[in-house]
Amino acid sequence: MAEDQELEATEGEGRLRPFWSGTISFGLVSVPVDLYPANRSKRVSLRMLSPEGVPLARRYYDERHDREIERDEIVRGFETDDGEMVLVTDAELEALEPDRTRDIDLRRFVPADSIDARYFNRGYFLAPSGESTKAYRLLAAVMEETERAGIATFVMRGKEYLVAIFAENGIMQAQTLRFADELRTPDDVGLPEPRKAKAADVKKFTRAIGRLKKQSLAETELRDERAERLLKLVARKAKKGEDTVDLPEDAEAPADSDIIDLMEVLKRSLRGAQDRKAERKASSSKKRASQPSKKGGAARSSRAAAGADLSDWSKEALYERAQKLDIEGRSSMTKAQLVRALERAG
């Protein structure tokens, strides 16, 4: 999941909630599991603001024709080696997407220590799902005893991922893997050929390493010192009222329209009943609007009501509805643009 944002689960009832559920499948074996992120983002981020403190939004600009490009005008293209651009439509991209499935297709088992750590991208926990944990515990025990890792694929958010599954202390973990062509070789970097070091130099470095040697890595050493210094700076300036601006009440944070925020998916799972109710109301309004009526104002009122409901939907829900209605340019739209496009389609 290299290009994804930090994926985080939400907390509720004293524990984390999974953001993906499926089944590990191989042969005749099926093991229901829930996926939890083993990492969480704690990085301190800064916002891009105007001098008045208003969050800035990203815009696309056509330098050749000296004009701003609206998001619904944007098309995608691939630049070939000879400098030509091959355009690719949203429909063509969707046709390339893998089939939606809830299976983690476990294809083979390899020695756990045979996987180069450079391939590891992001860590996850695989927890048993459902009431029975017998199959999960059995698979974890056998993998741990034989020191094997499972290589599998699974689909999430329309993309297929390659993962390595490990077992340790009865718990299965997964590491998403980079593809082979994503790693650089020493030749790519231009590293020199290794040479045998002199014995005196080896002894000197061995003594230097020995002075810093520890039995284990303490968590206290895994600190983001720059982030700590930044937070102290912000706190000091805020206390003095130095260089502070009030954020306008109507200011909205700019969204990255090319990525559907997973946090929206998680929030939707928590308020699933609310979204389903909104969808039913929107569907009902659409049906009323499509029926012949002598009062055009009533139809317009129905569409307006549907629009009001749509604004409460998550971005993922809006995108899925736009996908069903085959709205062009939907993959590059912001949430507000998706709402407007669905209102027009409705």
CATH number of the domain to which 129 belongs: 2.40.290.10
Asked which of 158, 189, 220 is the last residue of a domain, the reply is: 189
Asked if the structure places residue 117 within a domain, the reply is yes
Asked if the structure places residue 198 within a domain, the reply is no
pLDDT at position 157 is 77
Tell me: do 170 and 54 sit in the same domain. yes
Tell me: do 150 and 13 sit in the same domain. yes
d(CA 273, CA 135): 32
Tell me: do 140 and 289 sit in the same domain. no
Cβ neighbors of 172 (< 8 A, separation 6 or more) are 33, 125, 126, 136, 139, 140, 143, 165, 166
For tokens 């629009």, name the residue: 307
Overall domain count for the chain: 2
Inter-residue contact 150 to 108 (CB < 8 Å): yes
Q: List the domain range (segments joined by +) for residue 124.
A: 1-189
Q: Look at the pTM and tell me if it is higher than 0.75.
A: no
What does DSSP say about strands 67-69 and 148-156: parallel, antiparallel, or unpaired?
unpaired
pLDDT at position 279 is 58
pLDDT at position 249 is 60
For tokens 């599991």, name the residue: 33
**Other CB atoms within 10 A of residue 223 CB:** 9
- DSSP-derived letter for residue 36 is E
Tell me: do 14 and 103 sit in the same domain. yes
d(CA 189, CA 116): 18
- DSSP-derived letter for residue 216 is S
Asked which of 140, 170, 189 is the last residue of a domain, the reply is: 189
pLDDT in tens, 223-268: 888 888 888 888 888 888 887 777 666 555 444 433 334 344 334 4
Asked if the structure places residue 211 within a domain, the reply is no
**pLDDT band at 96; cut points 50, 70, 90:** confident
Asked if the structure places residue 313 within a domain, the reply is yes
Tell me: do 272 and 174 sit in the same domain. no
Backbone angles phi, psi at 63, to 5 degrees: -65, -35
Asked if the structure places residue 229 within a domain, the reply is no
pLDDT at position 273 is 41
